[in-house]
């Protein structure tokens, strides 16, 4: 790739491109916001002075009046309406949007594609147009200022527009019609005119085959016409006709004069690359003969990344490649020669989304080759530094490996000594455990003997208690037997005493009878009261017997 020449003619300023970015972004965001309901998009296009803005304002609800030149003007101008101008200079430099919520239609008044406001305004319009049509199918209406019964200029502007759009199917509005023909008659005549127009390019369809529907909007030359042609009834009819139009998909196209963007980006990128080339050469030449340089893994990695980036091994997009290039160069130069490239990067990154529409942008696809050509000396320096860094790395790795081997040998020796010490410690622990086990065994045996002795003593105590209990039981039994015998003897004594008493009583009675009989029954002695007197002997006998009985009872108890 040859280095681009320094072109100052028609070269856009950085400020101009920066100002273009927020305008496009704002308009795209507004378009996206108005199409969030997924309704229909209607695009009004056409040359300057065709009446696009008047048509847009009428559909947006605008009310009109005639000025002193009998030209239409808005009764109540507002920001929602497009500016109108009957001249050849466009006053609509940016699209205007109106969303009709009743039928879910978004209409866009698009600036003319052949306007005379300058290359940069036209470039903005073209970029925005391509952005909008790339978002989906829409209804395209080309507005023609056609006051007569025939097609003006044989539709040259229309034919050029369709050719630029890669021959899409579109609709026409015949605006400002002033003749008296009915709409259908005018449509048929215009169709004949379109059919007679041959395609500029061979093997391309004729103009008539690319026109879907033709709408007619008449010019209001007087107040009476204004009241009729721009009434609410006509507005509703116009909307109904637009609702019936068919959507079409338009292919984005290459934008005329868009090479000024690619030329600017290429020129600016080349300048920045060359500036960094000088900075890198200066820095690394001054460091080339440092013999005490140590291996720097970060520097080595950055140099390798730089070389890899020049070959674009990761297939970065042009703007992403350049961003990475700037970042790694800023690190390598340690910000000593930092380039003021933020604005340029912003431009580069933003316009990359329009790469397929911008002429000459394909040259930026190989921006890494441009960098290679401008940085040959830097590449040689970097290759030399990479080789030197790799040698240092290898030497340091060998030194590190030797030190590691020495350290490993010392570590192995230390581990061996540690293993030996651990083995001796394990042996000592084993002997200590054995001694402890024997001591525990001896203690256990002694404890078992003590327990056994205690058990024997306990058994002896239990046996002694058992024998004592048996002896007590025997003594108890003996006492019971003795007690039983004593009671038995007492009972026998009582019985004997009773028997003796009975016998004595019996004998006494017998003796008494005998004495009475022998004494002829001597009268008994009477006491002083005349009662028989008791004898002293019998009283004594009875008293003695009672005492014996009481003593016997006490013994029994």
pLDDT tens digit string along 121-164? 778 888 888 888 888 889 999 999 989 999 888 888 888 888 77
The pLDDT of residue 323 is above 70:
yes
Question: What does the pLDDT average to over 359-386?
Answer: 83
Confidence bin at 2 (pLDDT 50/70/90): very low
Question: What does the pLDDT average to over 90-101?
Answer: 76
pLDDT tens digit string along 96-132? 889 998 999 999 998 866 554 566 777 888 888 888 8
Question: What does the pLDDT average to over 69-81?
Answer: 81
In this structure, are residues 321 and 309 in contact, taking their beta carbons and an 8 Å threshold? yes
What CATH superfamily is the domain 14-243?
P-loop containing nucleotide triphosphate hydrolases (3.40.50.300)
Alpha-carbon gap, residue 50 to 33, rounded angstroms: 28
For the chain, the structural domain boundaries read 14-243, 261-374, 390-520+540-550
Alpha-carbon gap, residue 461 to 360, rounded angstroms: 122
Alpha-carbon gap, residue 42 to 241, rounded angstroms: 12
CA angle, 205 as apex, 131 and 151 as ends, to 5°? 85
pLDDT tens digit string along 289-308? 455 567 677 877 888 888 88
Which H or E element spans position 474? helix 376-519
**% helix / strand / coil in the chain, to the nearest 5?**
60, 10, 30
Question: What does the pLDDT average to over 419-432?
Answer: 93
CA angle, 138 as apex, 132 and 139 as ends, to 5°? 125
């Amino acid at each position: 790739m040859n280095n681009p020449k320094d072109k100052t003619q028609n070269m856009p300023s950085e400020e101009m491109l920066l100002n273009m970015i927020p305008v496009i972004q704002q308009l795209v965001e507004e378009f996206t916001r108005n199409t969030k309901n997924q309704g229909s998009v209607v695009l009004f296009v056409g040359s300057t002075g065709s009446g696009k803005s008047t048509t847009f304002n009428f559909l947006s609800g605008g009310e009109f009046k005639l000025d002193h030149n009998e030209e239409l003007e808005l009764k109540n101008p507002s920001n929602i309406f497009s500016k109108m101008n009957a001249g050849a200079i466009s006053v609509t430099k940016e699209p205007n949007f109106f969303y009709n919520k009743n039928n879910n239609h978004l209409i866009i008044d698009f600036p003319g594609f052949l306007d005379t406001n300058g290359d940069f305004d036209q470039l903005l319009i073209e970029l925005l147009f391509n952005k909008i049509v790339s978002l989906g199918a829409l209804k395209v209406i080309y507005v023609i200022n056609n006051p007569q019964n025939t097609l003006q200029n044989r539709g040259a502007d229309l034919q050029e527009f369709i050719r630029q759009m890669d021959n899409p199917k579109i609709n026409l509005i015949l605006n400002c019609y002033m003749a008296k023909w009915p709409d259908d008659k005018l449509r048929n005549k215009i169709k004949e005119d379109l059919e007679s127009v041959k395609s500029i390019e061979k093997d391309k369809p004729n103009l008539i085959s690319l026109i879907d529907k033709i709408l007619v909007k008449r010019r209001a030359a007087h107040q009476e016409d204004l009241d009729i042609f721009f009434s609410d009834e006509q507005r509703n009819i116009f909307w109904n006709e637009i609702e019936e139009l068919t959507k079409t998909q338009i292919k984005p196209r290459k934008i005329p004069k868009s090479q000024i963007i690619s030329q600017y980006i290429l020129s600016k990128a080349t300048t920045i690359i060359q500036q960094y080339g000088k900075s890198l050469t200066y820095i690394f030449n001054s460091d080339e003969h440092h013999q005490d340089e140590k291996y720097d893994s970060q520097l080595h990695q950055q140099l390798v990344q730089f070389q890899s980036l020049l070959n674009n091994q990761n297939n970065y997009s042009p703007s992403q490649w350049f961003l990475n290039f700037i970042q790694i160069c800023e690190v390598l130069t340690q910000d000593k020669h930092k380039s003021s490239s933020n604005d340029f990067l912003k431009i580069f990154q933003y316009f990359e989304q329009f790469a397929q529409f911008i002429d000459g942008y394909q040259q930026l696809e190989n921006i890494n080759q441009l960098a290679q050509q401008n940085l040959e000396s830097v590449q040689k320096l970097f290759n030399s530094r990479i080789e030197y860094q790799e040698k240092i790395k290898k030497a340091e790795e060998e030194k590190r490996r030797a030190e590691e081997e020495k350290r490993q040998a010392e570590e192995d020796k230390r581990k061996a000594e540690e293993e030996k010490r651990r083995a001796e410690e394990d042996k000592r622990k084993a002997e200590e455990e054995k001694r402890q086990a024997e001591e525990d065994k001896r203690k256990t045996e002694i404890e078992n003997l003590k327990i056994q002795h205690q058990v024997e003593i306990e058994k002896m105590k239990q046996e002694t208690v058992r024998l004592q209990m048996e002896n007590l039981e025997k003594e108890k039994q003996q006492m019971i037997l003795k007690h039983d015998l004593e009671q038995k003897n007492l009972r026998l004594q009582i019985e004997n005493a009773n028997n003796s008493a009975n016998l004595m009583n019996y004998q006494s009675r017998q003796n008494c009878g005998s004495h009475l009989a022998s004494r002829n029954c001597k009268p008994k002695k009477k006491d002083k009261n005349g009662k028989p007197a008791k004898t002293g002997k019998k009283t004594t006998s009875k008293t003695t017997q009672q005492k014996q009985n009481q003593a016997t009872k006490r013994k029994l108890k």
